[in-house]
Structure 1
């Protein structure tokens, strides 16, 4: 590690040197935006140092001895899921990378006001912005003629070869791109329809758990034909006659999202709940303005460095309602070649008229309905009041999972145990396993991003966090802070990323910075590799986040959680003031599976290769392989902001992030 550390220090010095000049440029950009009449509220200014900045990964350098196709570069993933904490890289930006699919032609519609606090942008301002940058001043887009991005902001920022091409030739280029897009669409359709079964058939097969993974391009069809769905499957007509929907997420590609809905549902009301601020918010509104049926709801981020990281769909049908909680951003890359998790609820029917007004009527033993309503109420948004009313009017008594959510704030009193890891602690104490049955079962945490966990493992990771995850029903055994055997962390190694289907660009969605890594070297002692041979996804880089406990013989688990929460205090919360309050920065949501809710009297779910069909335990389809595979002495966790020149990835590229 000495050589790595010396190289890291050298990079850090270089990064810090260029940081000041980039900050000056950002200040100029902000001043220009203000001069154009874009009002920025005080709440948006509050988080100015961690959310909007130049893209961290602007270039991908080709290895000298290997050719790389253009489409591989086109798939560079977004800098996603940063779960930014106090010492996270200050120049990180989640910029949308070009998608392989060309947005469909948008029909003109009247621009609607999307948020109450969003100022309108006049045509004059737009023209002024266009006139201020000539073609010669704009940098060339790194994807050149292969770029598929056609949104206004991207075209104003970067120059493309076809800008200087005669009109006749331009038409030929556009025609060629259209054919390529149609070919890609046909391939996607072919892949997703390898089985004639509908999404409801897949859900029926996965019942009663209904835990699925997303389909992955580039793997054997057998792994996509069972317990796997694409977003277009979830939104398909066979799921019900859609009336309206709401999408909660961190990243949005609106034109791509609209195409995932069937044609007959593309004009149905759609609400997007987001956490974008400043320029990001302007861009989202600009894109949404072309669709009259789309409205935006901005989540209030009261805590600095917080994000709206929740990923959930609420789908209202003529005959009921569904809730979908998953781990994927609403962008093409996240549904293409990554490992993602999805939970799809049963169809919740409408309540009868006599009980329609009661919020308690139609709730389940897991309190799914009341917890979902409480989570939506925490946004304090008028836009979500109608959806709280929709939930009230539906019978959710057959929901068998617990909601584990996080909302920003400092939570005290009873509220402290309603969110984050303290909610996990409370549910496991009430409904979890008995201590004597799981006393030596380690906690398994699998995630795609790492926050600042503290300089010592006993400060948070092996203290309050592990204490919550090892909570048991009734009287718990004494908690031992420094027992490494009780925690195993599944996180991609350098080689996991390098040999993935996407290659090094997959690392753009697995943020762990060298600055943070240098402060918590103990983290490496817990690490396990990403392996998913049983699900055919060992090379599909994990963006899924899951938590569980595993028996020593790798045959059983007492519970399982799929969530948007990465391993960070921002997501799970940190106790303050003598543990009297829980401070959470971000919005997160997940669902917890407990065996007794699915099989009465059952203590565990069965997992692993040795599971017998005669076992009474319900088998849980884990997204990762057991037994776990520890890191070797040569393995290192993926660090996303240092270069990798020694070995090319699966597309023949090396990783060369520019200095911050």
Structure 2
């Protein structure tokens, strides 16, 4: 239902990250009396998942590790309980205490999932068009973050040495060298990118007050980003809330600045990747009249310099040729048309990395290693086939130890909403899990909210393709076949960009050995944001489950995790 606010019109759609963790939409608070004044923890004024609500609660009211004895012992477990599945209601039995404990952050985590967002396109549950002028910002009302360094450095970073225009978000609390080529939302919105006229934001979750503060004062009236000089599309994995831009690993794709098509010029402004038509199709799928103005704006601009493919999902049931337009069938179609052939005799694995997991069925054959893996294995048709079972599948998802030792500590798990209710139904899945490790990008302790999928060579030195997206590992996001495979059903809006070597004049991508290195590696080396090869979970590793307690070892702030 459309709603009005002082920042413009916004709409909540029905998309969802997975069938299992459906966030409850809360209307914006209209109370003039703060909850803090009433003696209750202040709740965020924007929609949260239950996992993020629990993180918010524990940051406001932490359970210190020294209080372990005061935590009531779990009751006797039923059969197929978390204990019987190996989680034991704690982080791990033999964890070492952290060497150092950092001061507990004063701000909180909050919010569930998803969506490519920011300046322009994004998959999501809300669309915010920030068009009316905002009131002047009070002195000192800004976040602690200021734009990155010298303006010329940002400009050089965008214009030189990064043909993929793929970036990570800046992370507070890591070495400066690992932020040297990263971006904050304030960088994206800065005047260096152009004279902003209007913008539209597509995302799952918004904190509009925080978002307004990220715009330069002269541009607060209003992320598609329309400038006097042209149009820019930005697709990224962050929610539009402070926590997602603070100490999490997120991905960003920045388009070139698209010029307006001159009147009388009969060019379509389309790229070889058909990005323009696919973007218009995605926006049209929202069936929202308020987006028509933006669709018309896109038509008026030249997007021919785009060298990535758009991979979107929209809710619905699709048959015939329409089945190939969305979700994992869209990925399958593009890979069949454009992915490089695999050398004979080589077995190139699949790597998937995500921050949430849906219900995938009672065993791997029901979806993961059947229709979904078949799409990821698709290659340019050359008459060869390779059995799905032969190709390794590496799934990267943070372990409890990853979360415990993160910059945020246990509350970082609020953005990893894998629930015990889902996990206990698919214990088979966890044998595929690999830990989150990102030493090369300096982000091992910044929990991932980024989602990526790729096809590396057996020695992980080359890539057949790379995808950054809002889509987590769920049937809701990617789609699932129905009616004997004739119909694809999708539940949520998602958006991502696919990097294929052929669009860059290459046979394959080399993997960049150090994400932020300025060494003599080839310019076309792709910056994978985590360490390769992925490391399989050890015997004591467990996947992070947000809604069970972890009380046997403190996190980096000296706290335990008691979600309720």
Give the TM-score band, short-chain normalised: 0.7 to 0.9
User: SS at 1:209's partner residue?
Assistant: coil
Cα distance in 2 for partners of 1:43, 1:433 equals 37
Runs of 5+ in structure 1 lacking a partner? 1-40, 83-93, 95-104, 109-174, 271-312
The alpha carbon displacement at 1:602 in A equals 2.7
Q: Which of structures 1 and 2 has the larger relative contact order (alpha carbons within 8 angstroms, sep 6+)?
A: 2
Contact kept, 8 Å, 1:326 with 1:340, in 2: the verdict is yes
User: SS at 2:269's partner residue?
Assistant: coil
Cα distance in 1 for partners of 2:13, 2:163 equals 47
**Equivalent in the alignment of 2:278:** 371
Q: Deviations over 1:532-574 (max 9, x none)?
A: 1111101000000001011111111111100000000000000
**Equivalent in the alignment of 2:107:** 74
Question: Structure 1 residue 265 and structure 2 residue 219: aligned?
Answer: yes
Map residues 250-649 of structure 1 onto 2, 5 A cutoff: 250-267=204-221, 270=222, 313-355=223-265, 361-436=268-343, 439-475=346-382, 477-483=384-390, 485-598=391-504, 600-608=505-513, 618-649=524-555
Map residues 88-107 of structure 1 onto 2, 5 A cutoff: 107=135
**Equivalent in the alignment of 2:178:** 223
**Equivalent in the alignment of 2:158:** 203
| TM-score with structure 2 setting the length | 0.78
The alpha carbon displacement at 1:331 in A equals 0.3
1:52 to 24, 42, 52: 24
User: SS at 1:546's partner residue?
Assistant: strand
Q: Deviations over 1:69-127 (max 9, x none)?
A: 88526323434349xxxxxxxxxxx9xxxxxxxxxx9749xxxxxxxxxxxxxxxxxxx
**Equivalent in the alignment of 2:34:** none
Contact kept, 8 Å, 1:595 with 1:618, in 2: the verdict is no
Contact kept, 8 Å, 1:458 with 1:481, in 2: the verdict is no
**Equivalent in the alignment of 1:132:** none
Cα distance in 1 for partners of 2:418, 2:13 equals 30
Cα distance in 2 for partners of 1:513, 1:391 equals 40
Cα 1:81–1:323 change in 2 (3 A) is: closer
The alpha carbon displacement at 1:56 in A equals 4.2
Q: Deviations over 1:16-73 (max 9, x none)?
A: xxxxxxxxxxxxxxxxxxxxxxxxx9989xx999332874453331111799888526
The alpha carbon displacement at 1:319 in A equals 1.6
Contact kept, 8 Å, 1:431 with 1:473, in 2: the verdict is yes
Question: Structure 1 residue 248 and structure 2 residue 158: aligned?
Answer: no
Cα distance in 1 for partners of 2:256, 2:189 equals 14
Cα 1:79–1:374 change in 2 (3 A) is: closer
Task: Supply the RMSD in Å over aligned alpha carbons.
Answer: 3.2
The structure with the larger Rg is 1
Contact kept, 8 Å, 2:350 with 2:455, in 1: the verdict is yes
Contact kept, 8 Å, 2:103 with 2:557, in 1: the verdict is no
The alpha carbon displacement at 1:199 in A equals 3.3
Contact kept, 8 Å, 2:14 with 2:492, in 1: the verdict is no
Q: Deviations over 1:442-496 (max 9, x none)?
A: 110000001111111011000110000010001364353444x521001100010
The alpha carbon displacement at 1:202 in A equals 2.0
User: SS at 2:233's partner residue?
Assistant: strand
The alpha carbon displacement at 1:433 in A equals 1.5
Contact kept, 8 Å, 1:194 with 1:221, in 2: the verdict is no
User: SS at 2:460's partner residue?
Assistant: coil
**Equivalent in the alignment of 1:63:** 65
Contact kept, 8 Å, 1:558 with 1:605, in 2: the verdict is no
**Equivalent in the alignment of 1:235:** 189
Cα distance in 2 for partners of 1:614, 1:376 equals 41
The alpha carbon displacement at 1:355 in A equals 4.0
Contact kept, 8 Å, 1:435 with 1:473, in 2: the verdict is no
Map residues 171-210 of structure 1 onto 2, 5 A cutoff: 185=144, 188-189=145-146, 192-210=147-165
Cα 1:481–1:455 change in 2 (3 A) is: farther
Cα distance in 2 for partners of 1:453, 1:74 equals 34
Cα distance in 1 for partners of 2:545, 2:157 equals 37
Cα distance in 1 for partners of 2:345, 2:184 equals 36
Cα 1:330–1:49 change in 2 (3 A) is: closer
